[in-house]
Structure 1
Amino acid sequence: MQEMPLLVFTLLEQTAVGAFAALAALRLAGKAGEGKVAFKIGLTVFAMSVVAMGASMFHLGQPLRAVNVLFGMGSSWLSREILFFGLFAACALVYALLERADKAGAAKAVGVVGAVCGVMAIVSTAICYTQPGVPAWNSAWTPAQFALTAVACGIPLYGALSATFGGAAAKRAGAWWAAFAVLFVTQIAMRWMFFSDIVTLTSTLPTT
């Protein structure tokens, strides 16, 4: 499927944002375990973000010119999506480094900023896809599905990573990973059908 890069990008984007938002919120509330655990989770989220951005570039006709998309910031939601997600990824990295340096106060502030940027990235993505040209996407279900992915996959991923890296729920790592796997596979299937709509629409258009 030619939309595979977008499937990978949207799933990883939303899952990473959900996991990071959960981390930032719980860390702010003092319930996210030690700084070394937060450091590893932040670094994992950053790695996921890099993979997501790499996947998105394969959808462009000329990946090496992807930076040109940023020039439409004033009028293009695609440009805003790239900006917000880039800022989110940067915040995840800075957050991880601050946790590593035991700068908990600064890390919490960066965590909040990163979570906001992540949410705005998902909002921008939803607006990009909610277009009249594709009736199957032009509904409230599109942003709802993206938000659902962030919550349904992001929170279990946070729990799984926290348990794996030695958080408070270390004994439940297997259960967390199982829950994440089931929910993530479900989201893959849903996203596959989502992008199949545009493939079907394109294939039915008359050729000249």
Structure 2
Amino acid sequence: MQSMEFPLVLFTVLSQAAIGLTMMRAVRTATGNANADARKEWLAIAGLMGVGLLGSLFHLGHPLSAPTALNHLGTAWLSREALFAGLFMGVAVVAVLASGAGGKAALAWIGAILGLGVIASAGMTYAPPALPALNNVLPTAFFLVSAVVLGAGFGSWFAREELRPLMARIFTGALLVGLVLYLVVPCVWISGGTVMRMTGQAWFASGLYWTHVCILAAGLAVIWRTKSIPVWLPVLVLAGELIGRAGFFADTIHTAANIGGLY
């Protein structure tokens, strides 16, 4: 990709935070004790998704033509991503507006399923053959880890006291999985083909990559020491995900970078 793509950084990370929050809300409703004020959480979900969708418009040459992204649902993962994102936003808005209905488990589970659709279709969108390092399940894995980390982190703001340890356990597990994933994957790329190896080298040479890894490690250290999620920690992790996603777009090498070279 080799471009910072800030609108896409904003859209993917904020939408995944909203999806993660919805997933964690669904998990908490399964206990029969989600939180005291569902409307505030749904407002946060709708707000994150809305800002993400608004940011994505700046990636378009003709923002007013954004609805045409739905024209190729049968052939384009990008169109499917747009559909799932729109449906997810619709569920969040309904949950905010429907007084008393926001607490119902059905809305959380429907939103979580649609959110997984957004993540899966986004993962396929960013896994083209022209990006050998990502032409696999890795984008989906990266996005899902971000959603769970951010969802559990910010979910601790809305969870009842007795469910905060659950959020902390999910948060810790997701941070650990993310840290291992981001450390191991570039090592695998280094042993791959020419363009894949170039991607691994670019990630290891990137300040964006190392800043992200350090924030994941710092998050693990904080929660290990405190045994809980301090109110400021999800904000730090969100900053780390934004930085890491910028590296995802800027440091992944396109096959065009090696035109004329040996493979």
Q: Shorter-chain TM-score: which interval?
A: 0.7 to 0.9
Q: Cα gap change, 1:181/1:86 in structure 2, threshold over 3 Å: closer, same or farther?
A: same
**AA matched with 1:4:** F
The 8 Å contact of residues 19 and 158 in structure 1, kept in 2 or not, is answered as yes
Q: Cα gap change, 1:138/1:102 in structure 2, threshold over 3 Å: closer, same or farther?
A: same
1:122 equivalent to 2:119? Answer yes
SS of residue matched to 1:150: helix
SS of residue matched to 1:177: coil
Aligned residue in 2 for 1:142: 139
RMSD between superposed Cα atoms in Å:
2.6
Q: Distance in 2 between matches of 1:171 and 1:77?
A: 36
Q: Distance in 2 between matches of 1:104 and 1:182?
A: 28
Structure 1 position 137, deviation (Å) = 2.1
Structure 1 position 95, deviation (Å) = 1.8
Q: Distance in 1 between matches of 2:113 and 2:24?
A: 12
Aligned residue in 1 for 2:61: 61
Q: Distance in 2 between matches of 1:177 and 1:25?
A: 20
1:178 equivalent to 2:236? Answer no
Deviations 1:50-109 (A, max 9, x none): 1111111111111110111111111111111011011111111212333xx22367x321
- The within-5 A match list for 1:14-93 is 14-34=16-36, 37-93=37-93
**AA matched with 1:142:** P
Q: Percent identity?
A: 32
Structure 1 position 202, deviation (Å) = 8.6
Q: Distance in 2 between matches of 1:14 and 1:108?
A: 20
**AA matched with 1:18:** G
**AA matched with 2:61:** G
**AA matched with 2:154:** L
TM-score by length of 2: 0.67
- The within-5 A match list for 1:167-206 is 167-168=160-161, 175-197=229-251, 201=254, 204=257
The 8 Å contact of residues 157 and 176 in structure 1, kept in 2 or not, is answered as no
Q: Which runs of 5+ in 1 are unaligned?
A: none
**AA matched with 2:92:** A
The 8 Å contact of residues 12 and 49 in structure 1, kept in 2 or not, is answered as yes
Structure 1 position 25, deviation (Å) = 2.3
Q: Distance in 2 between matches of 1:168 and 1:43?
A: 20
Q: Cα gap change, 1:111/1:65 in structure 2, threshold over 3 Å: closer, same or farther?
A: same
Structure 1 position 30, deviation (Å) = 1.3
The 8 Å contact of residues 92 and 111 in structure 2, kept in 1 or not, is answered as yes
Q: Distance in 2 between matches of 1:151 and 1:140?
A: 17
| Mean CA deviation greater in 117-126 or 175-184 | 175-184
Q: Give the aligned length.
A: 195
Larger radius of gyration: 2
1:103 alignment partner, one of 101, 104, 108: 101
Q: Which runs of 5+ in 2 are unaligned?
A: 166-227
